[in-house]
């Protein structure tokens, strides 16, 4: 690894408020650069760990290509691990079973251990049910056997969590939250989007559908490669607010939507940390909304201070980026009514995700009116924001009569894979297009 990346923090907002207004919105753009690592470079001991969790329940036999593709995908992910990375492979049914290494713990990646792991994977067979919480708990216990700063899991399933109650799964997710990052994938169409989204959101990972088993290998390889490119873990977004101000919400809004509001850890006085997970060379955007006391025209205040905090040795921490959120009250309506383009862009994308998910839920429930209205609004928003990929997915669920007004009709027959793809990818966002003269407003 090349060490920690260089971080830059930029704040985009319209700081002008009308008299009596109390809500301040800002988009925080965090860019990490200089974290590239040669693919062949070994990982220093204790820096990275990977657990690959493969569903081997009975349904993985149907079709037969599902299990064989999962084996190939797992082997591809194992091959992607750099020398020195601690790793394990877990088979998941209504129990969780360690496939490799052969004793509880993590192996250290090398040509020999990668070959042994791939050989163990070839012997996987499909049988039994599905208890995803048990898979996560085993992964957690494996990570605990070695002190690795960057812990990442890949989780694949093809079915619903039939052998645990929703409450049991939720308790497990809560128990392992903050311990590792998890990217979740569903293959086929018999799994539940909400279940995997719940896991990915809590564990700061991604969720997606792999419609055909043949797509697993490339997806696993990409997830493992992305994990190998991370250079620093447990980075936090720290927000300070003045007396009388409160944080209304904090959301990651790009590359995917994730509400971090409830993940706050208090850092007195008047500060709180929000987890952002592991970083390589990349850019992410966050939407922060601060509620401030109303003030008179002409008043100014620092509504919030943003710091990016990175853990250091011996419990020390380093602030690697800063930015200010401002509030200025004015009677100039031209200033106070101007919506910052970054804020407007991501507010629209958050609404787009909400109405897609609400529309699909209404459609499942047989509420045609609500489903039509919500999905029509989704078409309108996708058109306005230039989200062409989402517009194409929506067109498989509704017949679009007028995209600009959101006038649509529900299709009578919709392929399950199209509906699940739209649902799963509704939380993926598109970065706001920067103009050549764009600059942070504070």
In tens, the pLDDT along 143-153 reads: 999 988 899 99
pLDDT(183) > 90: yes
Mean pLDDT of 45-62: 93
Res 437: pLDDT:
43
Whole-angstrom Cα distance, residue 406 to residue 208?
Answer: 26
Mean pLDDT of 286-315: 93
Residue with the bigger pLDDT between 117 and 38: it is 117
pLDDT(411) > 60: yes
Tokens 């250290």 belong to 108
Mean pLDDT of 251-258: 96
pLDDT(45) > 90: no
Whole-angstrom Cα distance, residue 325 to residue 341?
Answer: 16
Tokens 């192996």 belong to 107
Mean pLDDT of 100-118: 97
Closest of 101, 215, 88 to residue 158, by C-alpha = 215
Mean pLDDT of 105-121: 97
48-55 and 6-12 as β-strands: parallel, antiparallel, unpaired? unpaired
pLDDT(1) > 90: no
pLDDT(386) > 70: yes
Res 442: pLDDT:
46
Res 389: pLDDT:
93
Q: Is residue 209 packed enough to be buried (19+ CB in 10 Å), middle (13-18) or exposed (0-12)?
A: buried
Q: Percent of the chain scored above 90 by pLDDT?
A: 88
Res 433: pLDDT:
67
pLDDT(36) > 70: no
pLDDT(186) > 70: yes
Res 417: pLDDT:
96
Tokens 């008179």 belong to 296
Res 64: pLDDT:
86
Angle at 80 (CA atoms; ends 120, 212), nearest 5 degrees:
75
Mean pLDDT of 247-276: 96
Whole-angstrom Cα distance, residue 330 to residue 256?
Answer: 34
Of 59-68, 180-189, 239-248, which range is least confident? 59-68
What length is written for the chain? 442
Q: Could you write out the three-class secondary structure of the chain? A: CCCCCEEEEEEECCCEEECCCCEEEEEEEEEEECCCCCCCCCCCCCCEEEEEEEECCHHHHCCHHHHHHHHHHHHHHHHHCCCCCEEEEEEECCCEEEEECCCCCCEECCHHHHHHHHHHHHCCCCCCCCCHHHHHHHHHHHHCCCCCCEEEEEEEECCCCCCCCHHHHHHHHHHHCCCCEEEEEEECCCCCHHHHHHHHHHCCCCEEEECCHHHHHHHHHHHHHHHHCCCEEEEEEEEECCCCCEEEEEEEEECECEECHHHCEEECCCEEEEEEEEECCEEEEEEEEEECCCCCCCCEEEEEEEEEEEECHHHCEEEEEEEEEEEEEECCHHHHCCCCHHHHHHHHHHHHHHHHHHHHHHHHCCCHHHHHHHHHHHHHHHHHHCCHHHHHHHCCCEEEEECCCCEEEECCCCCHHHHHHHHHHHHECCCCCCCCCCCCCC
- Residue 410: count of CB within 10 angstroms of its CB: 16
Confidence of residue 435 (pLDDT cuts 50, 70, 90): low
Mean pLDDT of 246-268: 96
Which tens digit of pLDDT belongs to each residue from 89-103? Answer: 999 999 999 999 999
Residue with the bigger pLDDT between 44 and 360: it is 360
Which tens digit of pLDDT belongs to each residue from 365-381? Answer: 999 999 999 999 999 99
Give how far Cα 200 sits from Cα of 116, 170, 207, 273, 325, Å.
Answer: 29, 12, 6, 20, 29
Tokens 């490669």 belong to 225
Res 315: pLDDT:
74
Give how far Cα 225 sits from Cα of 82, 152, 203, 248, Å.
Answer: 9, 11, 18, 36
pLDDT(398) > 50: yes
Instruction: Please report the sign of the dihedral spanned by the C-alpha atoms of residue 300, residue 301, residue 302, residue 304.
Output: negative
pTM: 0.92
Res 438: pLDDT:
54
- Residue 336: count of CB within 10 angstroms of its CB: 18
Closest of 221, 164, 173, 209 to residue 50, by C-alpha = 221
Q: CB–CB of 7/31 below 8 Å? A: yes
- The first and second tokens of residue 44, run together, are 């220093």
Q: Indicate the Cα dihedral angle 340, 342, 347, 353, nearest 10°.
A: 160
Confidence of residue 434 (pLDDT cuts 50, 70, 90): low
Confidence of residue 40 (pLDDT cuts 50, 70, 90): low
Confidence of residue 440 (pLDDT cuts 50, 70, 90): low
- Mean pLDDT rounded to a whole number for the chain: 93
Which tens digit of pLDDT belongs to each residue from 210-219? Answer: 999 999 999 9
């Amino acid at each position: 690894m090349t060490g920690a990346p260089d971080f830059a923090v930029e704040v985009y907002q319209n700081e002008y408020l009308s008299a009596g207004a109390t809500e301040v919105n800002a988009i925080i753009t965090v860019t990490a650069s200089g974290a590239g690592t040669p693919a062949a470079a070994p990982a220093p001991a204790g820096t990275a760990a990977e657990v690959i969790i493969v569903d081997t329940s009975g349904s993985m036999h149907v079709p037969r290509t599902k299990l064989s593709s999962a084996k190939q995908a797992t082997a591809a992910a194992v091959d992607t691990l750099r020398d020195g990375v601690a790793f394990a492979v877990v088979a998941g049914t209504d129990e969780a079973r360690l496939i490799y290494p052969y004793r509880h713990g993590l192996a250290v990646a090398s040509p020999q251990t990668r070959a042994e792991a791939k050989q163990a994977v070839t012997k996987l067979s499909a049988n039994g049910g599905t208890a995803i919480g048990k898979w996560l708990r085993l992964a957690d216990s494996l990570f605990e056997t070695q002190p690795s700063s960057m812990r990442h899991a890949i989780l694949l399933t093809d079915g619903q969590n039939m052998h645990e109650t929703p409450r049991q799964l939720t308790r497990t997710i809560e128990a392992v939250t903050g311990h590792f990052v998890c990217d979740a994938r569903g293959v086929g169409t018999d799994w539940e989007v909400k279940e995997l989204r719940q896991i990915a959101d809590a564990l700061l990972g991604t969720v997606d559908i792999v419609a055909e088993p043949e797509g697993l290998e490339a997806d696993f390889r990409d997830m493992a490669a992305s994990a190998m490119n991370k250079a620093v873990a447990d980075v936090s977004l720290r927000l300070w607010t003045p007396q009388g101000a409160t944080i209304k919400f904090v959301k990651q809004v790009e590359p995917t939507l994730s509400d971090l509001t409830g993940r706050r850890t208090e850092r007195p006085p008047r500060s709180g940390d929000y987890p952002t997970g592991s970083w390589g060379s990349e850019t992410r955007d966050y939407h922060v909304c601060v509620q401030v006391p109303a003030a008179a025209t002409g008043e100014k205040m620092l509504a919030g201070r943003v710091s990016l905090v990175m853990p250091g040795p011996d419990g020390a921490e380093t602030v690697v980026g800063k930015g200010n959120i401002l509030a200025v009250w004015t009677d100039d309506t031209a200033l106070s009514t101007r919506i910052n383009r970054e804020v407007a862009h991501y507010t629209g994308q958050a609404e787009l995700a909400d109405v897609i998910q609400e529309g699909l839920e209404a459609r499942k429930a047989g509420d045609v009116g609500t489903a039509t209205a919500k999905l029509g609004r989704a078409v309108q928003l996708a058109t306005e924001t230039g989200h062409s990929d989402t517009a194409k997915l929506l067109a498989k669920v509704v017949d679009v009569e007028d995209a600009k007004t959101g006038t649509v009709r529900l299709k009578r027959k919709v392929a399950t894979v199209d509906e699940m793809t739209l649902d799963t990818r509704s939380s993926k966002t598109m970065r706001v297009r920067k103009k050549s003269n764009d600059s942070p407003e504070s």
